[in-house]
Chain A
Amino acid sequence: MATKASRSAARLMMAPAVVLLLGWMLVPLTMTIYFSFKKYLPLRGGDLGWVGFDNYARFLSSSSFWPSVQATLLIVGGVLAITVVFGVLLAMLLDQPMWGQGVVRILVIAPFFVMPTVSALVWKNMFMDPVNGLFAHLWKAVGAEPIAWLTEASLPSIIMIVSWQWLPFATLILLTAIQSLDSEQLEAAEMDGAPPLKRFGYIILPHLGRAITVVVLIQTIFLLSIFAEIFVTTQGSFGTKTLTYLIFQRVLESQNVGLGSAGGVYAIILANIVAIFLMRIVGKNLDA
């Protein structure tokens, strides 16, 4: 089917997409690397010359660097743990026969479609506000002191908001994977007297292994760069300054472009480490 003429036609048809993405990748990336070796302060003197690896060293040694790494890891790790554990449980529940399954699916999936600024703002004000929030009412109703969630328990609050947004994603993908499980295998195990916990541990969980890996990898890539949720709620204060937010502040708020770009290069390297694993899985599947 592939003649020489159709080959070159195919190449021509691919060209726009490839060229655009190549430009989109290379141009800004080159500029970021270029800036990262310069002392560059647009509002305070502009380009002040080459500084070698100074920015890289300064970014690492700044007092906000390690806390930001810590906050990033806690948020990513916390959200992953919550969404995967509850995602598996919820997917298994939704796979069971019940009435109104379609409607329940819709209810569960809905948070994924809420734009991040809306969910952050709704949670911040209508639920987590220490005076008028629904949680405050609830706490007072049982006689407890309301909690100022986003200041006193800022990281858990952000983890909760983001988990709410991503649980539907994990659930949906895990549900798809569970539905592809051969039910005869489960029935056979049941007949052989395998208790539910064993059936889960030896049949369901291994079958879900790949789907869980995919969920973890894709979510990690998105979670490493969450922005709106922090921008709208705490603006990076109270220990919620992630690596992404720190770089954003360096670049746009304090306009220290050299330093921010060095941070950007670190973020790119970090994301690429995760991406390599994801690519391997996706690539393997492409062959099959």
Chain B
Amino acid sequence: MARSVTTRRKTINTALAWAIGLLIFFPILWTILTSFKTEGQAISDPPVFLFFDWTLENYAIVQERSNYARFLWNSIIIAGGSTLLGVIIAVPAAWSMAFVPSKRTKDILLWMLSTKMLPAVGVLYPIYLIFIRMGLLDTRVGLVIVLMLINLPIIVWMLYTYFREIPGEILEAARMDGATLKEEILYVLTPMAVPGIASTLLLNFILAWNEAFWTLNLTAAKAGPLTAFIASYSSPEGLFYAKLSAASTMAIAPILILGWFSQKQLVRGLTFGAVK
């Protein structure tokens, strides 16, 4: 991309891109700023942008009133658990597809993807019923299982694309040198696969964290993660902007930070390798 451009053109590009970037980011910025205001300043007209009395009291109140920590913990368990479980199940599958491909590998991969396309609402009642029968409604275990299953196709797919980039010759060389299958996997394959596995974990953790159909429909008070915590603020009694902002900031901050690290993997993970 070594295109030479005039400084003037570069300046215009920069100004335009920053303006649009800030405009798109503004709702998030505004939410973060509002979370440090008092309720009065949060709805003041004209709005105050930076010059207000910064306060942390909203964060304390939100934690006290709705026990933010419990929802956060549920989110971590559900997103982390489902992602880990999914990767444990997907690694062997992706490994065998990448290194011992058969005629049907492609069909299996595409079929797995097709399960991801099943609209959740189409199977809402059966899942609901199964959850009631098995006592899984409003439990973290239940959500870990469901979110693992809805993300499993993406996890298998991502790992497959990463594993396929590992050259088979290296494995053969290791085998020639007398490495056993176990040594081959442990000392040769794993180190090379770690970056791919890490990116897969990261992206799917984010997807599970933000999932808002099953988490809203299958939880109540006990196992609700942050998506449900925020939805509870949609009732009129929750209409306090500063507190709403504090709650929102706490719900999105961890994932924004993780997301910035994973933006390169996003394309691969979400287009199933169709765009490179």
Contacts and interface: CB of A to CB of B under 8 A. Distances in A.
Contact of A227 (B121, B127, B209): B121
Question: B27, B122, B149, B256: which has the most chain A beta carbons within 10 Å?
Answer: B122
Contacts of A90: 20
Contacts of B212: 115-117, 227-228
Interface residues of B, number: 100
A113 B124 contact: no
A286 B122 contact: no
Contacts of B20: 90, 93, 108
Contacts of A59: none
Contact of B241 (A9, A101, A126, A187): A126
A285 B273 contact: yes
A123 interface: yes
A167 B238 CA distance: 29
Question: B24, B127, B270: which has the most chain A beta carbons within 10 Å?
Answer: B24
A21 B153 contact: yes
B96 A97 contact: no
Nearest to B146: A24
A257 B132 CA distance: 15
A65 interface: no
Contacts of A194: none
Given A7-B100, A110-B28, A21 B21 contact: no
A7 to B, nearest CB: 6
B263 to A, nearest CB: 5
Contacts of B219: none
B252 A115 contact: yes
A224 B239 CA distance: 29
A228 B212 CA distance: 6
B174 interface: no
Contact of B122 (A109, A112, A115, A267): A267
Given A25-B118, A122-B31, A98 B10 contact: yes
Interface string A63-102: 0000000000000000000000000001001101111110
A120 B212 CA distance: 11
A271 interface: yes
Contacts of B258: 113
Interface stretch (B56-64, B136-144, B225-233): B225-233
A84 B25 CA distance: 19
A47 to B, nearest CB: 12
Contacts of B122: 29, 32, 247, 264-265, 267-268, 271
Contacts of B172: 1
Interface string B158-189: 00000000001000100000000000000000
Interface string A137-179: 1001100000000000000000000001001110011001101
B270 A275 contact: no
A13 B93 contact: yes
A16 B5 contact: no
A107 B117 contact: no
Contact of B127 (A28, A100, A106, A210): A28
Given A24-B149, A110-B28, A115-B212, A252 B124 contact: yes
Interface string B87-125: 001101101110111100010111011110111111111
A218 B271 contact: yes
Contact of A105 (B100, B206, B263): B263
A90 B271 CA distance: 19
B16 A111 contact: no
B46 A279 contact: no
Contacts of A11: 96
A104 B263 contact: no
Contact of B121 (A1, A117, A218, A244): A244
10 contacts: A17-B89, A111-B24, A111-B28, A113-B258, A224-B119, A225-B120, A227-B213, A264-B122, A267-B121, A271-B117
Given A108-B25, A180-B276, A283-B106, 7 more contacts: A21-B115, A97-B3, A97-B13, A111-B25, A118-B251, A126-B245, A232-B231
